[in-house]
Structure 1
């Protein structure tokens, strides 16, 4: 079936309902003002692409977005039709009639009469339809993007597991050099920022600016909210580097909701973050949530300053690790953009993960591991290195104890101006 110019979604969809060839696509009432459309999640065990995605596939074929022989992308097909329905002034979802928690879920839409459209529909909805009556393709709202990403989770993003092997989540090319020279504040301000797309490392950036950094998409960051001399600017890698089409498409859409980015700063207290962007962000690390040494996922509220890594906690845990009481503490914080993060093991399936590591804490952990290895060795040439490590630990503990913790995080003022 081909798209013949000005034929509208309304005419096409009514024809499909009346054809009776799509299971679950049917009229909801006798007057034919409402209809049901099947809405089964791709992650369900009984999901059958040939049946459950048939109407969505038909729309993709009609729009010229799919032809036989192309790679099947049921989540993308579904999103195209959902976006078209939600943008069209001809349709309105009747949520109270929709049934999404049953074995054969469906949504109900109402066909909006043209007279009602003239008086009741918003100008934004009307603007989504061009003069030829066609629908702006894939122009989705944040909620629709979020639903699409859930569908993607069900289908399974084609991640590269070899980039996310056991232990590699915290692997950085940090050398066993002496602690960086300079003041204590400059030592603790250094961070390593690592970007993962679909479980694959795509970029590493070293932060050295004492005021921290702003992480945001590159194109949208050119009109920076904060000047480059006030903090370091770090940009998300472009979605074009992603190999797989559907992952690249939805990552690009998600990046569009990160335009204001996040502010991150590290000091003697730990790592602080301020979320400015529209997208939800979940995180896990040795911060202000969870039990004492077991990080639990948290959610960042917009414009709130949150301590996502506590230096004092880390060194307490490091001491216990040295004594063999607990596993090694993690000097890394994991941020998940746009998707909920239940635990660190699920991070490899996420579209965008950003990991932030305090360079100094990573160095101390590496030093501790080296000391533990030396404990099983009788090499006298390594004794000096052990003494140096002990002196470093003692100095840091002393500095931490003498550091006066302010009543409020000093990273970002509450009244810091944020330009829209």
Structure 2
């Protein structure tokens, strides 16, 4: 059973701190005491006062036994710990439209979620039952609003800590999961497009670059002049993130470049007839959405050095056929990656600093052929369910109306 005692401790502790009026900026937002403000000033600001602006975060570190007087002060780390606790606890929910982060005394607003409202989400909450307990070492990596403060003391991993067998581990990871060694690629010769990926980059919601991969082994998305030999990925296609110089906003451009400092090692991507797989190598956090998401209503973070299936091709085909047969809008065939910021969340995707969207070239072509085939035939019968899902795509029982829906699915709406 999911242990929620940790969440209760944070809830009670934080209510007591707000009521104490001991911490500047930590106040109730409404008379019913269901919303509260918490100060959120960057440690990099000129008027930053650690004793004042970090007081509540320091108090949480002391309460959790992560800091005692005499230890080296780490206000950004204290802040990240409490942020992790708030975001993971089912007792709290950030109210982004009330938060004010661009004023002289910035703050975030959180809502205290009633217990009865949480009951329906208990099972889902257990899937992520860290609640407010200590963030793991991977959770302590920089969030967007902490980058400016800790960039100087948060370098990318040292050379001697990098795995030397990244490519080997990547290709032979798990046959049952759909990743295969070089010799096994011959079985995919009938669907060469399913190993190709169409990748689009967006900075602040604006499209800045796109590329179609060519190598069936996969690709590595990274920042900087690093060679593949350094991480054992020389056989993968190398794709660099576009320069941030194209970003119009000076502040956004500055933070994007700071984020780049944590994406040095990048990520690995691989596509085949089973789906799309990813492995995060970089220090910076990466969040994603796709049809393999374990839950749809909260951010999904990639753990470091783990191979994760983020898109299931056969599942998409089944969903596509079902939607078409029911005359519903076809599902989105893309995967979205968000770097440095939690995603999906209440913040619109076009406001995210770095977004990368990926789709299988072959799948898109098969979908288009399926829709075209429908227009050329009067048969509306469903394909044999025993056939290979890829092969029974043509013909597909979709209407001209659904064809327009699919073709007009937007990328990122600004």
Scaled by the length of structure 1, the TM-score of the pair is 0.49
Shift of 1:360: 1.1
1:367 aligns with 2:373: no
The aligned counterpart of 1:354 is: 356
Shift of 1:326: 3.8
Query: Secondary structure of 2:231's match?
Result: coil
Identify if the C-alpha distance between structure 1 residues 398 and 121 changes in structure 2 by more than 3 Å, giving closer, same or farther. closer
2-side partners of 1:231 and 1:96: how far apart? 43
1-side partners of 2:372 and 2:212: how far apart? 23
Identify if the C-alpha distance between structure 1 residues 344 and 307 changes in structure 2 by more than 3 Å, giving closer, same or farther. farther
1-side partners of 2:369 and 2:267: how far apart? 31
Shift of 1:146: 2.9
**Residues 184 and 268 in structure 1, CA contact (< 8 A), matched pair in contact too:** no
**Residues 191 and 362 in structure 2, CA contact (< 8 A), matched pair in contact too:** no
2-side partners of 1:211 and 1:336: how far apart? 23
Query: Secondary structure of 1:308's match?
Result: strand
Identify if the C-alpha distance between structure 1 residues 150 and 331 changes in structure 2 by more than 3 Å, giving closer, same or farther. farther
Identify if the C-alpha distance between structure 1 residues 95 and 333 changes in structure 2 by more than 3 Å, giving closer, same or farther. same
2-side partners of 1:266 and 1:219: how far apart? 25
The aligned counterpart of 2:412 is: none
After superposition, what is the alpha-carbon deviation per residue over 1:111-169, rounded to whole angstroms, capped at 9, x for unaligned? x9xxx7xxx659xx9xxxxxxxxxxxxxxxx8665335899xxxxxxxxxxxxxxxxxx
Q: Alignment length, in residue pairs?
A: 254
Larger Rg: 1
Identify if the C-alpha distance between structure 1 residues 186 and 321 changes in structure 2 by more than 3 Å, giving closer, same or farther. same
The aligned counterpart of 2:153 is: none
Shift of 1:198: 0.4
The aligned counterpart of 2:44 is: 80
Match of 2:221 among 210, 215, 220: 215
**Residues 196 and 354 in structure 1, CA contact (< 8 A), matched pair in contact too:** yes
**Residues 145 and 254 in structure 1, CA contact (< 8 A), matched pair in contact too:** no
1-side partners of 2:294 and 2:191: how far apart? 25
> What 5-or-longer segments of structure 2 have no aligned partner?
1-21, 31-36, 61-68, 77-139, 150-187, 394-414
The aligned counterpart of 1:272 is: 277
1-side partners of 2:370 and 2:298: how far apart? 24
**Residues 285 and 340 in structure 2, CA contact (< 8 A), matched pair in contact too:** yes
**Residues 287 and 343 in structure 2, CA contact (< 8 A), matched pair in contact too:** yes
Shift of 1:383: 5.0
Identify if the C-alpha distance between structure 1 residues 362 and 216 changes in structure 2 by more than 3 Å, giving closer, same or farther. same
Match of 1:146 among 144, 158, 172: 144
After superposition, what is the alpha-carbon deviation per residue over 1:179-225, rounded to whole angstroms, capped at 9, x for unaligned? xxx81353310101111100011110111211101111133457741
The aligned counterpart of 2:212 is: 206
Scaled by the length of structure 2, the TM-score of the pair is 0.50
2-side partners of 1:344 and 1:308: how far apart? 21
**Residues 42 and 148 in structure 2, CA contact (< 8 A), matched pair in contact too:** no
Identify if the C-alpha distance between structure 1 residues 221 and 334 changes in structure 2 by more than 3 Å, giving closer, same or farther. farther
**Residues 212 and 264 in structure 1, CA contact (< 8 A), matched pair in contact too:** yes
**Residues 23 and 55 in structure 2, CA contact (< 8 A), matched pair in contact too:** no
Identify if the C-alpha distance between structure 1 residues 146 and 202 changes in structure 2 by more than 3 Å, giving closer, same or farther. same
After superposition, what is the alpha-carbon deviation per residue over 1:349-375, rounded to whole angstroms, capped at 9, x for unaligned? 100111110111111222344456x3x
1:184 aligns with 2:190: yes
Query: Secondary structure of 1:303's match?
Result: coil
The aligned counterpart of 2:248 is: 243
The aligned counterpart of 1:283 is: 288
**Residues 285 and 296 in structure 1, CA contact (< 8 A), matched pair in contact too:** no
TM-align CA RMSD: 4.7
2-side partners of 1:285 and 1:343: how far apart? 14
Query: Secondary structure of 2:44's match?
Result: helix
Query: Secondary structure of 1:318's match?
Result: helix
1-side partners of 2:228 and 2:267: how far apart? 15
**Residues 245 and 253 in structure 2, CA contact (< 8 A), matched pair in contact too:** yes
Aligned residue runs from structure 1 range 311-330, under 5 A = 311-330=313-332
After superposition, what is the alpha-carbon deviation per residue over 1:302-352, rounded to whole angstroms, capped at 9, x for unaligned? 111111000110111122133135421222100111111125982111001
Shift of 1:301: 1.1
The aligned counterpart of 1:225 is: 231
Match of 1:306 among 296, 305, 308: 308
> What 5-or-longer segments of structure 1 have no aligned partner?
1-34, 46-51, 53-74, 100-111, 126-141, 152-181, 375-381, 401-420
